[in-house]
Structure 1
Amino acid sequence: MNSTARRARVVGALVVSAALVGSLAACTTSPTSSGTKGGTYTLWDPYPDRDASSTWAKAVDACATEVGVTIKRTASNTGDTVKDLTTAAGNLPDVALVDNPKVSTLADAGLLTTTKQNGFDVSSISKNILSAGEIDGKYYGVPTGANTLGLYYNPTVLSAAGVDIASVTDWASLTAALQKVVASGKKGITFSAVGTEEGSFQFLPWFWGAKADLTKLDSSSADAALSLWTDWLKKGLAPNSVIQNTQGTSWDEFKTGAYGFAENGSWFKGDADKAGYKSIQIPAENGGAAPAPTGGEFMTIPVQKDTSRYATSAKIVGCLSKGDTAATALGYVAPTKAGADAQLAADPTLKFWITAVGDAKPRTADNLGIKYGVISEQMYTAIQAALSGTATPSAALSTAQTAAAAKLK
């Protein structure tokens, strides 16, 4: 979902090379099969860490061969890609990859075509992933794939503390497990509550797990979620460092072996496998799995003066999104059932994360669109206030709701 997570995916890629070989092979059919020949098409992506030798760059090259065109790729950091798109002034790329919450911002600015305009068929894309790019029933992009959050645990620490992971089914049983871990001399849980989108991203499973609504930040359900986190800090079940932790630094804490649990993303699966850590879905307040947010980029087709270019741009996106092509190259769970099935066949250990992504929910769901950014800013501000002790959870959320409502008028 961000540069930290993207760097981590290099270490913790979700899929084995066998799946990638199959994906790239699927993208190397004869150029004549596409019905399109010649021309140069531009693609912007937020992966400056992936050079020409990377699996992603090779996937792009393979799709260029299939479609029968030259693809000129430009890579920059996520924020820079969005900024460059908003200032391109008539010089937009043919295809642009952007973090999924930014799709609505760019669409609202009139910079993106809908799938109806560009002719891309989204019928095979998993709806819960696709809906991150949906506004008023129109789709403005196609997911490369998705990652999400889960609850990692250290079996060695839990065993020593007498915690059976099967007993962790809701907030009360999780808190009881944390208490046992701390009583055994270890630390409870680490996560990221930093005052940025990462903090909101990590809070959402608890927020949604309490059945809270993003349009009502001051609800009793939202208060219950923030009170859970606040109480963990007060009782020493989570460290004060979570207030500054990014997802990367939180993971570094967990890797010390001192913690029983860590909330973090699927991009750390490789690291976790090597260390022997396991995962469960984040529990909802009263049991069952809480919806976790989806992370990942969308492939969008920006507006062009020459609308005849859309057909070929759609073929490029089609090649990258079919099966598990882009998802495999970028370390995501594929956005289609066929793609996810291919990944699972290549690596059965992906079953947990494929299930978790299937249960996940986009941050801009419920037709929030560009409203999400405003709401998220107030959410992470409230989290910071509550965890630092400058306001009670209730007061912090009340202030957040008032500020969000004023900005969204």
Structure 2
Amino acid sequence: MTGARARRVLTATALVLGLAAACSGPGADGRGGERDYRFWDPYTQFGDDSEWAALVADCGRRAGVSLHRTGYDGSDLTTRAILAGQQGSSPDVLVLDNPVVTTLAEGELLLPVDELPVDLGDFEENLLESGELDGTRYGVPIGANTLALYYNADVLADAEVDPAAIHDWADLSAALTEISAKGHRGITFAAIGNEEGTYQFLPWFWGSGADLEELDSPAAVAALRLWKGWLDADLAPNSVINNNQTTSWQEFETGTYGFALNGTWQLANARASGIDFGVIPIPSRHGGPAPGAAGGEMVTVPVQEDPRRYERSRAIVECLVSDDNLLTTDTVLSYVAPVEALTARQRAEDPELSPWISAVREARGRTANDLGTRYPLISENLWTAVGNALSGAETPQDALAFAQEAVTSDFGR
């Protein structure tokens, strides 16, 4: 039974990889003239008349090319990028979710940054790690986000909870109990069975002292028991099992929840919600802020058959990550800048970004510490374990033991 379950999880990953081989071509990707360059990104929310599209086009003009931008949904972008690389028809510049960078790098589909070259000296080290494989860097951060705890000040005041007094898991659980006793809902988060679920669980996982190479450690079990305990005590709703980060936020916007685990990208929605809100760090098990996962994208340059194209690709990348353009981009995307000098300007212009800037500095790359392309399988088994434990199908200990068995079976370690 355990082996069958592990195989089902592994098969799901194989199906995702199979899509890359079976997918139809990426559309009208025929290479134009030597000054026609292609640019792919995951920002489907931005049309041709957006500030982002104008910035991209301007960087193309500055590089002396006509830059044709196409936006794809995240998973579709990854599939198309892999297929295009295999067919020798990659775009000239590619913006990727940071955990995907090492996947394409291992397939030798991306050019190392130092071969362009682009100077990475001012970029935050913890953000650069996400694009590193075997000591070589393949991506330049365009901005970063992470998670923290939003709170409803009116709900907390009614429950006589001081958010500044929450330093560890025990403090938070006690606060949720007080909130619930006053007839409010405690906390909402997203535990959906995909990368969003893993992303939301990682601060608690890492905040327990757990390591992604040992999914079934006592510390990891403690983190999953924390979430399961909240559901059992009705401090968090059962809907979290299917919540993504958007639906979780919509629950918080009803005004009935004390806390919501969510990201920088919800700051504009929080301001527009009418809720008197605040933000505190996610507490670790024994005190202090827990490290979240570094979110955000990286600018990469795919391998080209004609290496003469790299010179202008480098100019495009350097333009996109110049100080002024990073500030523009990160404002549009609600990102924290990946360069310390720019975050100081962000703090001055928008003080509400301060807790997010601090959280991003503590964030970890999901593929860091040489996890590289092992991370997607680890993540899939982790989100499966979380879902099975929260639904009651398995105990937290058994769910994580099965997850570790599946990872060990695949990697032989």
TM-score by length of 1: 0.89
Distance 1:106 1:284 in 2: 33
Distance 1:339 1:301 in 2: 24
Shift of 1:197: 0.8
Letter aligned with residue 344 of structure 1: R
Structure 1 partner of 2:130: 132
The Cα offsets for residues 86-124 of structure 1, whole Å up to 9 and x where unpaired, read as 111111111001111111111111100101222111111
Structure 2 partner of 1:48: 44
Structure 1 partner of 2:112: 114
Structure 1 partner of 2:230: 232
3-state DSSP class of the match of 2:372? coil
Q: Residue 400 of structure 1: which of 385, 400, 403 is its match?
A: 403
8 Å contact 2:106–2:133 — kept in the other structure? no
Distance 2:345 2:290 in 1: 26
Percent identity, aligned pairs only, is 49
Moved more, 214-223 or 111-120: 111-120
8 Å contact 1:272–1:278 — kept in the other structure? no
The Cα offsets for residues 183-228 of structure 1, whole Å up to 9 and x where unpaired, read as 0010100000111111100000000000100000010000010000
Show structure 1 runs of 5+ residues with no match: 1-37
Structure 1 partner of 2:175: 177
Distance 1:107 1:375 in 2: 18
Moved more, 147-156 or 118-127: 118-127
Show structure 2 runs of 5+ residues with no match: 1-33
Aligned ranges for residues 4-403 of structure 1 at < 5 Å?
39-88=35-84, 89-274=87-272, 275-323=275-323, 324=326, 325-403=328-406
Letter aligned with residue 304 of structure 1: Q
Letter aligned with residue 312 of structure 1: R
3-state DSSP class of the match of 2:267? helix
Distance 1:331 1:186 in 2: 30
Distance 1:245 1:138 in 2: 36
Shift of 1:364: 0.9
8 Å contact 2:165–2:171 — kept in the other structure? yes
Moved more, 178-187 or 309-318: 309-318
The Cα offsets for residues 330-388 of structure 1, whole Å up to 9 and x where unpaired, read as 22111112322232232222111111111111111211001110000010110011101
Letter aligned with residue 141 of structure 2: P
Shift of 1:75: 1.4
3-state DSSP class of the match of 1:370? helix
Distance 1:94 1:229 in 2: 43
Structure 2 partner of 1:6: none
Give the number of aligned pairs. 372
3-state DSSP class of the match of 1:68? coil
3-state DSSP class of the match of 2:366? coil
The Cα offsets for residues 216-244 of structure 1, whole Å up to 9 and x where unpaired, read as 00100000100000111111111111001
Moved more, 304-313 or 288-297: 304-313
